[in-house]
Structure 1
Amino acid sequence: MYSAKKSTLTILAVFFSISIAIAQGKPKFNVIAFYTAKNDQAHISFVHEANKWFPKMAEKYRFSYDSTANWSNLNPKFLAKYQVVLFLDTRPEAPEQRKAFEKYMENGGAWMGFHFSAFALSKSAFDQNWDWYHYTFLGSGEYGSNTWRPTSAILKVENKKHPVTKNLPKTFKTQPNEWYRWQNDLRKNPDIQILLSIDPSSFPLGTGPKAHEIWHNGYYPVVWSNKKFKMVYLNMGHNDIDYEHKYGKSNSTLSYTFDNETQNKMVINSLFWLGRKKIK
C-alpha cells in the first residue's frame, strides 16, 4: 500500500512539474511589430531601439515579440497567430493589407501605434487616402503641424481609471520627441478616450528656429484610445538626432525613447491591456 501511495505521489509530482513547465514556457500573448525604417533618421533610430527594447520586455514579462519589415505579412493567416499588432513607424499602403488590418481590428484584434504611424497629409508621400484608418479608427484626421526641435514635454494624465495610465503620476516628463498637432479636435469625438495630453507647464514647447514650430498654448492629446476598438496610439517615437552634425558623427542619436521609466511603464501597461492580461 505504501508503494502504491508513493507511486501515486510520484506521478502527481511529475504531472504538476510538467504543468508548471508548460505554464512557464507559454507566452501570455503574442506581439507582432510592423515597420519600414526608411524615412527620417529619427524614425529609423526609434525602430532599431524598439526592436532591441521589446524583446527584453518580452523576456521579462513573458510575452512573445516578433517584428517584420514585410508588410505583405499583414494578411489574415499571418495575423491569426498574434493577439497584438504594433506599427512602429508607418502604416500599410497596399489595399489588401489595409483590408486585412481593418478586418483584424473589427474582429477583436489589438493594436498599438507610435508617432509616424498616424501621419497623413494630402498630396504628400503619405497621402490621406485611408478614411477608415485616419477618421474612424484614429479619429485624428490629417497631420496639422509639429514642434521642433525634438524636446521633452510634461504630460498630464487625462483618464486615471484607464489600464494604460495605471500607477502613473498625475504628470511626468517624457523623453525628447517631435510632437504632432492634428486636423480634428479629439475632444469632440465621443468614441475617443484621451488618456494623456501636453500639460500647460510644458509651454513654450519646441525651440524652433521657425516661430510656428514652438507651441505657446493650446490643447494637444498625445495618447488616446478608441472605445470601438482595442487600440492605443502614442505620439512618442521620434528620437532626437544630430541633424546639424554638432557632435561629430552625422545623424547620430542624441536621445532614446525608452530611456524613461515612467514612459516605459505606460507602454507596458498598454501592452498588457491590449493582450487582455493583467500586470501585477
Structure 2
Amino acid sequence: MNYFTNKPAMPAPVAWQYLPSFFMFRATLILLVSLSLVLSVHGQQQPRFHAIAIYENGGHHVEYSKAARVWLDKLAADSNFSIDYIQHIEDVDSAFLHKYQLFIQLDYVPYAWTEKAQAAFKHYIEEGQGGWIGFHHASLLGDFDGYKMWPWFHDFIGGVVFKDYIATFASATVHVENKKHPVMKNVPDSFVIQKDEWYTYDQSPRPRVKVLANVDENSYQPATTIKMGDHPVIWSNPTVKARNVYIFMGHDPALFQNTAYTTLFRNAIFWAAKNKKL
C-alpha cells in the first residue's frame, strides 16, 4: 500500500523480468561480432590477383630462383596476392593458365615446351588473358640441346637470337630510357648491376619492341670485347594484348639486395598483373 496516495503499491521489478531483453541483446552482439570476423577473414582470403612463376629445376641459375622465391613470397604476403611455383612446363595448358592473372618466367628457357603449353601460352599472351614478366634465360633464343627455336616466341621477344655472353661475368651500368613507363617508377635514371652474364644477340630488338632501358657496354668491368652496340636490356612488346616486360638481369641472387632491381621487379608485377596494355 502506498500510504501517501492510498493506492496499492506497484510491485518492485525483479531481475528475471529483464532476462529476455538481455539475452536478445547478447545474441545480437555475438551475431554482429561474428559477422564482422567472418567478413574480415573473408576479405583477407581474397588476393588481389593470382600469379604463377616457372623456374628451372637445375643448372647454375637455381640460386637466383631460390632468392627470387623468398623475395616473391614476402612481397605476396605483404601485398595480398597469391603466387604458385612450377618447375616443369608439362603442367601448363589453357585450363592451368586460366587460374592466373600473371605468368612470371624466372630464368626458364623458351625451348622444349610441349605443343600444348605453346598453344596455351600463345593464346594467353595474344588475347591478354594475363600479364607476363620474363627474366634472363627467357631470351635464350636459338636451337639448343637438340630443340628447334620456337618461332612465335622468337617474334614475341623481339626477333632476337642468342649470339654470345660474358661467361666470366661483369658489372655494368644500366640506363633508363623511358622514365614515364610504370615499370620504371622510382627507378634511378641509371643504376649499377654488380654481376651478370650479359648476353649479346644477332640484332637489337629495338625496331620491334618498346625499349625501357639499355646497358652501357663501355661500363663493363672487367672490360670485354663481347659487345653488340645498341644493347637494350628491358623492353616490352606492344603488339600483343597482354601487358608484358622482359628484364634481362636475372643471374645473381645478390640482385635482390639491389634496390633499383627490386623496385623495377615490384613495379613490373603490379603493372603486368593489371593486364591492360598502355
| 1:256 pairs with one of 254, 257, 262 | 254
- Distance, in Å, in 2 between the alignment partners of 1:175 and 1:95 is 38
Instruction: Identify, as 1 or 2, the structure richer in strand.
Output: 2
Aligned partner of 2:263 in structure 1 is: 265
The Cα offsets for residues 257-279 of structure 1, whole Å up to 9 and x where unpaired, read as 211111101000000001119xx
Aligned partner of 2:56 in structure 1 is: 36
Corresponding residue pairs, total: 249
Aligned: 1:212 with 2:225: yes
The Cα offsets for residues 129-174 of structure 1, whole Å up to 9 and x where unpaired, read as 2111012x11142112223422222111111111100111111122
The Cα shift of 1:203 comes to 1.6
TM-score, normalisation: structure 2 = 0.79
The Cα shift of 1:10 comes to 7.7
Aligned partner of 1:203 in structure 2 is: 218
Say what the alpha-carbon RMSD is for the aligned residues: 2.6
State which drifts further: 5-14 or 103-112: 5-14
Contact 2:172–2:221 (Cα < 8 Å) also in 1: no
3-state DSSP of counterpart to 2:196: coil
Contact 1:160–1:166 (Cα < 8 Å) also in 2: yes
The Cα offsets for residues 58-90 of structure 1, whole Å up to 9 and x where unpaired, read as 112211111111211111111111111111122
After the TM superposition, which residues 93-104 of structure 1 pair with which residues of structure 2 at under 5 Å, given as runs? 93-104=113-124
| 2:44 pairs with one of 24, 35, 45 | 24
In structure 1, list runs of 5 or more residues that go unmatched: 240-254
In structure 2, list runs of 5 or more residues that go unmatched: 1-20
The Cα offsets for residues 226-251 of structure 1, whole Å up to 9 and x where unpaired, read as 11231111111112xxxxxxxxxxxx
The sequence identity of aligned pairs, in percent, is: 31
Aligned: 1:117 with 2:128: no
- Distance, in Å, in 2 between the alignment partners of 1:181 and 1:5 is 73
Contact 1:128–1:142 (Cα < 8 Å) also in 2: no
Q: Which amino acid aligns with 1:154?
A: T
In 2 relative to 1, CA 159–130 (structure 1 residues): closer, same or farther, beyond 3 Å?
same
After the TM superposition, which residues 222-261 of structure 1 pair with which residues of structure 2 at under 5 Å, given as runs? 222-227=233-238, 228=240, 229-239=242-252, 256-261=254-259
- Distance, in Å, in 1 between the alignment partners of 2:36 and 2:194 is 45
Contact 2:196–2:249 (Cα < 8 Å) also in 1: yes
